[in-house]
Amino acid sequence: ALTIGIVGLPNVGKSTMFNALTKNNVLAANYPFATIEPNVGVVPLPDPRLKKLAEIFGSAAILPATVSFVDIAGIVKGASEGEGLGNKFLANIREADAICQVVRAFVDDDVHHVDGKVSPSSDLETINTELILADLQTLEKAVPRLEKEVKGKKTEKSVYEAALAAQKVLEEGKTLSSVGFDTSEIRELGLLTAKPFIYVFNVDESQLTDEVFQAEMQALVAPAEAIFLNAQLESEVAELDEDEAKELLESVGITEPGLEQLAHKGFNTLGLQTYLTAGPKETRAWTIGKGWTAPMAAGVIHTDFQKGFIKAEIISFDDLVECGSVAEARAKGKARMEGKDYVMQDGDVVEFRHS
């Protein structure tokens, strides 16, 4: 499953947000999911289409796509010096597909700020600096080793050159993802700043609808995505049922809970989408990359489906809902037989034919 690591300075609201994510009443009531470890929460990707499909097919169960969130504590100013970032921290962050950096914007004198004042831009810089320093340490060790390996013809020169180029970007104080650095040659180094970043600004209620402020923050992190949420409010929302939650959110002027925005933007940032399968047993969403072909998508269900792929019967979700049943969709010519070159679209309802 897609894994998003949550990082940020102490006291910015990481745990509050993590708890809201993993103890959400509405999600828990609709989908079975679990907290595996204290700092890992598996959260379903909210998708209203699943319920509709389950009705059409009379499915006994709904299995949404999931996003795992890992609360990675341990970044403070100077964390990369001395002992370096802890091993557990590094292991957690290396496993993550994307990094969600939580930044404090809310003002509350009762909540201590590690630097004594609330400043989103300097917090961003502190965290980025620590991650950049950690990557520079990795490269300081790797570059001489790679140089030797190139001389001994054990490594391609292009790998060594990519490492040097990465080092240059980092020495300029930039994260690798912010300049779109292609790390495919040096993936084995597990550089932290090469991962896609999403920024969550934990804001005061008044800032939730403050477009000027939000544009300013968005500019700080561009081209990455920024999300604005109030972690405390999200944790209150998490304890309510669906209608009450909707009402509370509307009262502060937001339509989609921040945590759902986070799951959706996480998917987007990573270029992911879902396709759907449905039957009497279950309705299910499957995670694939954008641009994947039908056989690749089939392989997510089972490698045999990909190897023995013959064709896929595909009905788009909207067509299926309009027709009301597969039989009706077929009768109206809305069910398409697609071959191995078909590029999957988000929300395709699929049945694979395989040998």
Q: Which residues bind ligand GDP (CB under 6 A)?
A: 8, 10-16, 106, 108, 111, 202, 230-232
Closer CB to ligand GDP, residue 68 or residue 283?
A: 68
Indicate the burial class of 251 (C-beta count within 10 angstroms; 0-12, 13-18, 19 or more): exposed
Coil, strand or helix at 1: coil
Strand-pairing partners, residue 282, are: 61
111 is in an annotated binding site: no
CA–CA distance, 264 with 269 (Å, rounded to integer): 9
Residue 80, annotated ligand binder?
no
Comparison of 104 and 284: residue with beta carbon closer to ligand GDP: 104
- The CA distance from 152 to 174, in Å, is 32
Q: Is 121 annotated as a binding residue?
A: no
Q: What is the dihedral of CA 321, 325, 331, 333, to 10 degrees?
A: 40
Binding residue per annotation — 25? Answer: no
Please tell me whether 15 is known to bind a ligand: yes
The dihedral over CA atoms of 292, 294, 296, 299, expressed in degrees to the nearest 10, equals 140
CB of 241 to ligand GDP, least distance (A): 22
Q: How far apart are CA 105 and CA 354, in angstroms?
A: 53
DSSP per-residue string spanning 310-354 = EEEEEEEHHHHHHH-SHHHHHHTT--EEE-TTPBP-TTEEEEEEE
In b/e form, how buried is each residue of 314-338, taking b as 16+ CB within 10 angstroms?
A: bbbbebbbebeebeebeeeebbeeb
Q: Please report how close the Cβ of residue 73 comes to ligand GDP at its closest, in angstroms.
A: 7
Alpha carbon distance 121, 104 (integer Å): 10
Nearer to ligand GDP, 14 or 195 (CB): 14
Q: How far is the CB of 3 from ligand GDP (least distance, A)?
A: 19
Q: What's the closest the beta carbon of residue 71 comes to ligand GDP, in angstroms?
A: 7
Least Å from the CB of residue 86 to ligand GDP? 16
Q: Which is nearer to ligand GDP, 235 or 293 (CB)?
A: 235
Closer to ligand GDP by Cβ: residue 50 or 72: 72
- Minimum CB separation of residue 96 from ligand GDP in Å reads 17
Three-state SS for 13? coil
The annotation status of 153 as a binding-site residue, yes or no, is no
Q: Which is nearer to ligand GDP, 113 or 340 (CB)?
A: 113
Q: Residues at the annotated binding site for ATP?
A: 11-16
Residues annotated within a binding site: 11-16
